[in-house]
Structure 1
């Protein structure tokens, strides 16, 4: 009337590096123990299992899909850094430089020309 499932799941996930925004593959691994037992046991905890799920005597199969998916999702690191990405420099300055030759008289966007006329009136 009871089934103890000890699962060890492995997979390869294609993740995006938080530092370089480049895709990379990472091996995931997780384990989980669950006891399927009579409905009277649901809610109890034990040393060998994390939770108890109901198992009726008429059940002929057990669906482990959700447990395997959740186990692997919990194995995904919160900070996803590709191998070797820690050594790459991070650009900290963006936009144009002060040394760039810019023509201040020409607006960047022609839609701003109406505002430039207001500035000339003053």
Structure 2
């Protein structure tokens, strides 16, 4: 619990101007969250906070590397990451999340903790397919050469209907009766 307090920003002492914060996100940061998405990392987060009477604007810039598990070989590897996100915090009658990047807090709020936002932004920047760098090159070659894996044929089923209209093959007697109704 004490570890997560490092990511608190004291709003009471802030004047209505711009403020800058730097956070180091290492393995201990990722241990704060019960997850298996990221094994660890070495990241630096720079947060620019612009405070006004009605609104807080937080600009996140996160750079560094995260340790992931390869989906294909289950090996650990370092993946470079660079994230830029914006979070808007407005004052309102109750605390609630209005949108993915818009929060509402009561004016009496003294601290805002950004640890979950940092973690979420890192998670959103991860690739869907986590591949060790040696496999990325192989996949790129397959994508560039579609004949390497084989030929994909797509059919909508329209060709089958056209064949039924021809009188070449035997037709189900039920459909023959329906054709006579035309």
User: Which TM-score applies when normalising by structure 1?
Assistant: 0.55
Cα distance, 1:58 vs. partner? 2.0
Q: Distance in 2 between matches of 1:17 and 1:51?
A: 30
How far is 1:13 from its partner? 1.5
Q: Which residue in the other structure is 1:24 paired with?
A: 77
Aligned residues: 83
Q: Decide which structure has greater helix share.
A: 2
CA RMSD of aligned residues (A): 2.6
Q: Which runs of 5+ in 1 are unaligned?
A: 88-122
Asked whether 1:54 is paired with 2:75, we answer: no
After TM superposition, what 4+ stretches of structure 1 lie above 4 angstroms from structure 2? 42-45
More strand by share: 2
Distance 2:128 2:82 in 1: 15
Aligned partners of 1:14 and 1:51: how far apart in 2?
26
Q: In 1, are the aligned partners of 2:89 and 2:102 still within 8 Å (CA)? A: yes
The one-character-per-residue Cα deviations of 1:57-84 (angstroms, maximum 9, x if unpaired) are: 2222211111111100111111111112
- Say if 1:57 and 1:64 are closer, same or farther in 2 by CA, change over 3 A: same
**Higher relative contact order, structure no. (Cα contacts within 8 Å, ≥ 6 residues apart):** 1
1:5/1:57 CA distance change after superposition, 3 Å: same
Bigger Cα Rg: 1
Change (3 A) 1:55 1:43: closer
Q: 1:83 aligns with which of 130, 133, 149?
A: 133
CA contact (8 A) 2:92 2:107 kept: no
Deviation at 1:44, TM superposition (A): 6.9
> CA shift at 1:43, angstroms?
7.4
Determine the C-alpha separation between the residues in 1 that align with 2:71 and 2:98: 40
**Structure 2: gaps (5+ residues):** 1-52, 139-182
